[in-house]
Amino acid sequence: MSQRIFITGNRGQLGRELTSRLPEATGGDLPELDITDPASVDAALDAARPDVVIHCAAMTNVDGAARDPALADRINGLGTDHVARAAARLGAALVYVSTNEVFDGTKTEPYLEHDRPNPINAYGQSKLLGEQNAARACSRLYIARTSWVAAQGGKNFPHRILQLADERGRLQVVTDEVACPTFATDLADAILALIATGRFGIYHLTNSGFCSRHAYARKILELTGRGHIPVDAITLADFARPSTPPKFSPLANTAAAALGITLPPWEDALRAFLALGTA
């Protein structure tokens, strides 16, 4: 890609995948790049003079956001404002990575790009604030919503399920939280394909298909020779946690698909992810 690209959060799970594909890209992460400090953002982007900023840096700890909503707003909302303003000042396009949790989970079919956001938790509220701030500050904007992202070498759902299965020999997983498992390899490819189109807007980029956390866990166990391990079905009401996720929040990819950008089925992507053996 001939454009100069800057990646915020380049040491995070998606940032690492993007950087591996873009060895010529520049980027930054904590501690040298603090998106909550506008001077830090301006200095980094002024030095890089990018054509495109891919904004991956975020507070992604959903329960942590519930415990400290002000911090989530500061990082995901105000931090995104700083990045968007700096990008706009330099004439750069911005990719803002957002989430399915901007929706309330009350639909019975996957959310479309134009559906009205209505977050029900602090994390979703902070990410929607980021979307709004980015849209106000930067006209050359891609909003890329995704969900349940897993990457090699990071904290992810497949790794946690395998760890608990081996430790306990029996699992309890919720059946009434439904979304789209997404793998950072496919998400990174989709984001780069989207940038190449030059078509700004809101996009839903997830691996195709959707499932419950319970079905996801069972598939992970099945594909790793642990299909005999029992997985008890529980509900969100049975599983105490600080944050309340939307119950049904799959994302429908209609806008990117119209440009020829699709991601593989989540089951195939999971199989490839587990085959690497470092989940």
The residues with which 54 forms a beta bridge, in sequence order, are: 7, 95
One-letter amino acid identity for 155? K
One-letter amino acid identity for 142? Y
Inter-residue contact 118 to 104 (CB < 8 Å): yes
The residues with which 143 forms a beta bridge, in sequence order, are: 96, 202
Give Cβ neighbours of residue 133 (< 8 Å, ≥ 6 apart): 77, 78, 80, 81, 84
Tokens 């700083």, located at residue? 82
Catalytic annotation, residues: 123
Instruction: Output the CA angle 196-37-54, nearest 5 degrees.
Output: 10
Q: Determine which helix (DSSP H) or strand (DSSP E) holds 80, and give its type and residue range.
A: helix 79-89
